[in-house]
Amino acid sequence: LDTMVPTANDHSRMVVWQIYDRLVSNGEKKLADGTVSYDAKVVTPELAERWDISPDGKVYTFYLRKNASFHDGTPVTAKDVKWSFDRAVAAGGFPAVQMAAGSLDNPAKFSVVDEHTFRITLDKPNKLTMPDLAMPVPVIINSELAKKHATAADPWALEWVQRNDAGGGAYQIQSWTPGQQTVFVRFDAWKSGPLPKLQKVIYRQIASAGTRRALIEKGDVDISVGLPPKDYADLAKIGKIKVVGVPVQNDLVFVDMNTKMKPFDNPKVREAISYAIPYKEILATALYGRGVAMYDGDTAKPYAPTWPVPIKHGTDLAKAKALLTEAGFPNGFKTTLSYDLSEATVREPTAILIQESLKKIGVELMLEKVPGSSWFAQMASKSMPMVIAEFYGWLDYPEYFFFWNFDGSNNAVFNTANYVNPTLDQQIEIARFTADEKTYKQSMQKMVDIVMTDMPRIPLYTRFADYAMQPNVKGFEYWFHTHPDFRKLYKE
């Protein structure tokens, strides 16, 4: 129930979104198909009712709601905000890197001005600072409650908070059975936004996708998430259940090749593999069309200074074979392709399609199914020769994707290609901090050109975030973390 512990996962982030406040949130906008989405470009008050930013962009002062309280009735103060931010940095790993994206990387930058005023002082301006404050990591924890359960070995009460509600958000935990069910009840004293219409939300975890589909079709549940793409395609075609599919922002499903391992240390080999990927078949038969193609880009135009961008070709086995021969592997080679077993519904057919296609150019793949519980550790080890993986940026900025996936200076866990390029690192730094639009576009152009030329990563597609819901469910809003926001939902 805590995003700051190493074992935090998507369920953790879904829970935290409902039961904790952040300083700020985001506005709303409508997508082309009429779906309501959060608006990454509009920052709105949450726990902080207002804020000031100094003219030089280095000092942020937040004025907290004076009537806000935690679920146990304790008033929320700036000391709680300071302690929570210090805790996120001290946690290390993913939480600390997420905070660092907005330059929130040192407790010395966080200060208490008075009981209801909190200040952040940066070394230099960072346009990601405000967006980063709306993420599921810098949440405000009831520090006095948490500290009662801290120990010398665990000064930040990570053990206790991960199993208990220490929040002040719109919902509180009524009960939680790990791996089975979480029951949320509305916190009627919530002051950081309009009181939700739903008084109770029951979130059930059901392993069988077939059962999840049957429950939504029989009307026994209101929303079903995590179904296979085929089920969403079927339900959309039948038309009795409302299906919402939103291309996940800043998302890419890809194949990485470990550039520190032979033969993938050879750029020609990586290029050859890119021509042997069965792109169309993957999108059609593994994803049932529930995604946006990231291949067959326009060869007449340079890559756009954005991300992700489609690779400029599709499948060409003759070209792949020629490049492999040129690289010194006329008879191919043997290697391993790994994927996350918890994503097997789509990743397994994708892996099999890639295995079958690469075999035609002499490359024999052994498929490795990595248990979901071990996937992040395997990624961090940089030990897999080839992987099918995904990254979607919570912050909708291309340079944020590059920071998490290609920046050699932070040993990014998502850099499963083990790709380090000092020139690229320099351009990422420029793009992250420049305030000049021309400089930004130039650095983005260089970044995209580098990775699409060196090809440590082969783009496959941007997936849809899919949701099936009963026709009487209203108020759905797409968020970057892809989880439903219970605060907005209601039933007619």
Q: Given this model, what pLDDT does residue 11 score?
A: 85
* Domain spans in the chain, listed from the N-terminal domain onward: 10-204+470-491, 251-464
Q: Given this model, what pLDDT does residue 322 score?
A: 97
Which of 157, 254, 218, 198 lies closest to 487, judged by CA? 198
* Integer Cα distance of 471 and 342 in angstroms: 29
Length of the chain: 492
CA distances from 13 to 4, 155, 244, 316 (A): 10, 22, 21, 41
Q: DSSP characters for 98-142?
A: HHHHTT---GGGEEEEETTEEEEE-SS--TTHHHHTTSSSS----
> Max CA-CA distance within the chain?
72
Domain 251-464 fold is Dipeptide-binding Protein; domain 3 (3.10.105)
Q: Given this model, what pLDDT does residue 412 score?
A: 74
* Integer Cα distance of 297 and 459 in angstroms: 11
Sign, CA torsion 224/342/402/320: negative
| Residue 273: φ, ψ to 5° | -60, -40
- 370 in Cβ contact with 348 (< 8 Å): no
Q: Given this model, what pLDDT does residue 10 score?
A: 81
Per CATH, the homologous superfamily of domain 10-204+470-491 is: Periplasmic binding protein-like II (3.40.190.10)
* Integer Cα distance of 284 and 446 in angstroms: 32
* Integer Cα distance of 135 and 21 in angstroms: 10
Q: DSSP characters for 416-472?
A: TT----HHHHHHHHHHHH---HHHHHHHHHHHHHHHHHH-SEEEEEEEEEEEEE-TT
pLDDT in tens, the chain (492 residues): 999 987 788 889 999 999 999 999 999 999 988 999 999 999 999 999 999 999 999 999 999 999 999 999 999 999 999 999 999 999 988 898 899 989 999 999 999 999 999 999 999 999 999 999 999 999 999 999 999 999 999 999 999 999 999 999 999 999 999 889 999 999 999 999 999 999 999 999 998 889 999 999 999 999 999 899 999 999 999 999 999 999 999 999 999 999 999 999 999 999 999 999 999 999 999 999 999 999 999 999 999 999 999 999 999 999 999 999 999 999 999 999 999 998 888 999 999 999 999 999 999 999 999 998 788 888 889 999 999 999 998 998 999 999 889 988 767 778 999 999 999 999 999 998 898 999 999 999 999 999 999 999 999 999 999 999 999 999 999 999 999 999 999 999
* Integer Cα distance of 250 and 396 in angstroms: 6
- 118 in Cβ contact with 89 (< 8 Å): no
